Amino acid sequence: MTEGTDVSCRSAAGAKADRRIAWWLVWAYPPRFRREVGLGLVDAIEDRMRARREAGASALGARVPAILDTMRNAPAEWMATLRATLGVRLKPGTTGDGNPPHEMSGFSRTSGGRTVIDKLMQDVRYALRLWKRRPGFALVALLTLALGVGANTAMFSIVNAVLLRPLPYAHADRLVVVWGRQPGNPRSLMAYREYDALRAQNHTFDELSVFLGQSVNLTGVSEPQRLLGNFITGSLFDVLSLKPERGRLFTDAESQPGRAKTVVVISHDFWERTFNKDDGAIGATLTLNGNPLTVVGVLATPFDSRTVPADGFFLGYDVYIPAGLFPVPGGLTNAGPSMLMAGRMKSGVTLSAARADFDVITKRLEISDPKSQAGRSTNLELAHETLVGDSRTGLMLLLSAVGAVLLIACVNVSNLLLARAVDRQREIALRAALGASRLAVTRQMLVEAGLLAAVSAGVGLLLGRWSLQALTWLRPPNVPIPAEIALDQSVLLFTAGIAIVVAVLCGLAPALRTSRPDVSRVLQTGFRRGSGTGGRTRDVLVVAETALSVALLAVSGLIVQSMMALQHVNVGFDTANVFTLQFRLPPAKYPKPEDIARFFKQTIERVQAVPGVQSVALVRRVPFSGNWGDTPFVVEGRTAAAGSEPRAGQNMISPDYFRAMRIPLLRGRDFTDRDDLQSPPVVVVNQTLARTIWPDDDAVGKHIKVPESPEWLTVIGVVGDAKHRTATEPALPQLYLAHYQVPLIFSSLVARTAVPPMSIANDVRRAIWSVDKDQPVWSVASLDDIVARSHGSARFLASLLAIFSGVALALAASGIYGVMSYSVTERTHEIGIRLALGASAGRVLREVVGRGLALTSVALLIGIAGAAGLGRLARGVLFGVTPGDPATLAAAAGLLALVSLAACYIPARRAARVDPVVALAEE
């Protein structure tokens, strides 16, 4: 009994489920079908399922056939409905109600007229036939559009990867970079003790960390190597939510100065490169900067770092070393601002709340330690902004440029289609007169434009991918473009959107034009083409594209001028024939300043002996190498409130540096070998510092003091100004200390050569290794290259814009030529009559050219206005030229006027040579 009840319960439940399934299945059919026979179908499905169960089928066995049945029939019914609806709607003769014509014949039920799909397919076939008949037209149109789409796809991919996609860390929207803010420098480094205080006292951050990337020497292996090291607090791993791939990461406690453990975490790449992905790496010892460190873990890269802009900011290092091991005299806790800081805000905290929180803490710090903290506060910005903010203007400018190119391409194609539509006008009018629907012709135009758009979007996507590859090869080092740019959903959507825009832009004018032909007029003109028809539309199009090219050309001109201005900036030193390299002495091997000074002196002597070397010197920071530092200083006899002391860029150099760099010595003397640890400390200042501090007096002999030096420094010389970070920076005060008096482990070597600088590279390396065979060197480069590289992003921008505006110019020229040439062909008959009646060829020529130039001048006016707008957008990347620079605008307009004159002249000459007899005989 119990068993029977159980079974019946189960089958009752099963039957209920069957009915529900039947309902669901019927939902797959079109609404009208459901309304009319849906209930019956539900019953039938249910009955069939029950019958199958009763015949012994399992629940599955009963339901699967029902589902298969629906999968076969529901789509078929949808198709039938669609065909019927569209077919009826587009065929006015059909009534659409229950008395279809086929009932008369008895059996035919498939006709019902051609459906929209049939018609569309026919239009597609027709378009393809047209293309086949005029392959030149199709090829030009497709290529033009594909280039436009391709350029847009490529640029958008970059913009997407750089500006739109979040950084690939967990909670990337809450990652914040914290800079120190002080008078004259809103983006200074942070001090470790500031980090301690901020981390302990803030209420707005989940975690804070400091870090600084610095090269480290790996020794104790077959040959000394320079590794990219990142000195970090353990909390950085938490800020970025990083995980180990093998072993473990280190904690904040293990990275504290004074208590730092001798551990190191290595990157996946380094693990692969050096340990061949061997698990034995964990526990191995790496001698870094002379300290034996135990490898405790391999960092799992949270993403493919090659797809990330500026991946080197947080990651992209070989080894992660506890911050406490950072090589700084006196220990990190006592050091001044020397680290970068980043943190992850708590969920729901805004940037301004975090700023307010930090302001309170820095104010407290300033009160408790007025000497070192005076005037210092913090400057918080989203990490994404720090990484990509500077490239925004350039990228948006490039995106607008390719957008303009695409618009011009669309206008050209639209013109081509329009010209053909006008050619067909008589045929169209005739068909309309005979009762054919105008819609059919318009639809054909739109279908052709759509087809053009679809094909060119496909080809453009491919072109875009290829050009992206080319772009990433060209990628200058200081543009944050990822090495690999993924073709993701947003890019595909963008390209699809572009295709729709292209279809509309290309198809609209011709479609509108053909949708209202003036039947009687067109037919009255007889077999000649109606003159002037479609002319207005074409004029507007040609003006639009010319205006766009002028604007683009003008902005590119501005950027190229900035680029040239950059290259011709007087940087204050002679970049030609200078060889440079960098090195860092391991502190364990060179514990005393005397040891370092000895290495310096010996190195200079040996390198001086290399053939081809004229003069050689050491310098802490090579200009334009990215290394930079500044310092506050006190002037003897003057008082300044703490925090508001004058500041100057600071560098340490050996004697002969000015000679090697050809920085002019204006007064006093250069350092000599005798300015060493035993002699009184001296300083050389630049012209700007001398002029600002002692405007009416001789700087030589004056005294200043910097924080590093307890004694007063005597100014012994004044040299010319030299740019240090960028060519665009204004002249800044700069002071030079004697490297022998402040011997730091990090330095660079510069050598002026009589031969091509890179040719001495191996000899210089050997010379250094003859002093210390374990000493790695890196950044071997000529000064020319270093300075040129700093213009990388400007050159990148300028060359891309130049390419785009060149393409735009070519497209505009062909557009103008096309329109003028078409209008001449169209007017051949009229010109023939006029020539027959005695008009001179010169007059005809002047008229045609005049019409072209009239169009061009309207376009120039609009274009110049547009250029002024675009120029404002470009303001941030301009240098040495104003956005409205009249010369540039005039040059762009002039160039376009010339091009359009040429484009008009060829058809005009053809018009002037029209043979009246032939032209009139055409009728």
Enumerate binding residues for other proteins (CB under 8 A). 33, 36-37, 39-41, 43-45, 47-48, 51, 65-66, 68-70, 72-74, 76-77, 80, 98-100, 103, 105-110
CB of 69 or CB of 922, closer to other proteins: 69
* Distance, CA of 430 to CA of 425 (rounded, Å): 8
* Distance, CA of 674 to CA of 16 (rounded, Å): 103
Considering the complex, what minimum distance in angstroms separates the CB of residue 66 from other proteins? 7
Decide if 488 contacts 159 (C-beta within 8 A).
Answer: no
CB of 46 or CB of 645, closer to other proteins: 46
CB of 76 or CB of 906, closer to other proteins: 76
* Distance, CA of 213 to CA of 626 (rounded, Å): 13
Decide if 208 contacts 185 (C-beta within 8 A).
Answer: no
Neighbour-count burial for 551-576, b at 16+ CB within 10 Å, e otherwise: bbbbbbbbbbbbbebbeebebbbebe
User: At a CB cut-off of 8 Å and minimum separation 6, what does 409 contact?
Assistant: 144, 145, 147, 148, 811
Considering the complex, what minimum distance in angstroms separates the CB of residue 55 from other proteins? 12
CB of 105 or CB of 222, closer to other proteins: 105
CB of 40 or CB of 894, closer to other proteins: 40
CB of 71 or CB of 898, closer to other proteins: 71
Considering the complex, what minimum distance in angstroms separates the CB of residue 67 from other proteins? 10
| 7, 13, 14, 20: CA torsion to nearest 10 | 170
Residue 635: helix, strand or coil by DSSP? strand
Considering the complex, what minimum distance in angstroms separates the CB of residue 13 from other proteins? 20
Considering the complex, what minimum distance in angstroms separates the CB of residue 91 from other proteins? 17
Neighbour-count burial for 492-527, b at 16+ CB within 10 Å, e otherwise: eebbeebbebbbbbbbbbbbebbeebebeebbeeee
Considering the complex, what minimum distance in angstroms separates the CB of residue 54 from other proteins? 13
CB of 76 or CB of 128, closer to other proteins: 76
Considering the complex, what minimum distance in angstroms separates the CB of residue 175 from other proteins? 56
User: Bridge-partner residues for 634, per DSSP?
Assistant: 705
CB of 65 or CB of 720, closer to other proteins: 65
Considering the complex, what minimum distance in angstroms separates the CB of residue 101 from other proteins? 11
CB of 100 or CB of 302, closer to other proteins: 100
Specify the amino acid at residue 415: N
* Maximum C-alpha span of the chain: 120
CB of 5 or CB of 99, closer to other proteins: 99
User: At a CB cut-off of 8 Å and minimum separation 6, what does 136 contact?
Assistant: none
Considering the complex, what minimum distance in angstroms separates the CB of residue 16 from other proteins? 15
User: At a CB cut-off of 8 Å and minimum separation 6, what does 511 contact?
Assistant: 442, 445, 446, 449
* Distance, CA of 262 to CA of 254 (rounded, Å): 9
Considering the complex, what minimum distance in angstroms separates the CB of residue 99 from other proteins? 8
Task: Provide the pairing of β-strand 647-653 with 734-738.
Answer: parallel
CB of 102 or CB of 259, closer to other proteins: 102
CB of 5 or CB of 110, closer to other proteins: 110
* Distance, CA of 423 to CA of 529 (rounded, Å): 7
- Tokens representing residue 863 in the block: 């274009």
Burial class (CB in 10 A: 0-12, 13-18, 19+), 369: middle
Considering the complex, what minimum distance in angstroms separates the CB of residue 4 from other proteins? 25
* Distance, CA of 626 to CA of 786 (rounded, Å): 9
Considering the complex, what minimum distance in angstroms separates the CB of residue 70 from other proteins? 6
Q: Where are the beta strands (DSSP E) in 702-805?
A: 703-705, 713-719, 734-738, 746-753, 777-782
Rounded to 5 degrees, what are φ and ψ at 167?
Answer: -60, 150
Identify the DSSP state of 190. B
Give the DSSP per-residue string, 348-387.
T--HHHHHHHHHHHHHHHHHH-HHHHTT-EEEEEEHHHHH
Decide if 566 contacts 727 (C-beta within 8 A).
Answer: yes
CB of 72 or CB of 259, closer to other proteins: 72
Considering the complex, what minimum distance in angstroms separates the CB of residue 106 from other proteins? 5
**For the chain, how big is the Rg over CA atoms in Å?**
38
CB of 47 or CB of 673, closer to other proteins: 47
Task: Provide the pairing of β-strand 243-247 with 665-668.
Answer: unpaired
Q: How many CB atoms lie within 10 A of CB 24?
A: 13
User: At a CB cut-off of 8 Å and minimum separation 6, what does 410 contact?
Assistant: 145, 148, 501, 502, 505, 506
Considering the complex, what minimum distance in angstroms separates the CB of residue 57 from other proteins? 14
Considering the complex, what minimum distance in angstroms separates the CB of residue 42 from other proteins? 9
CB of 56 or CB of 838, closer to other proteins: 56
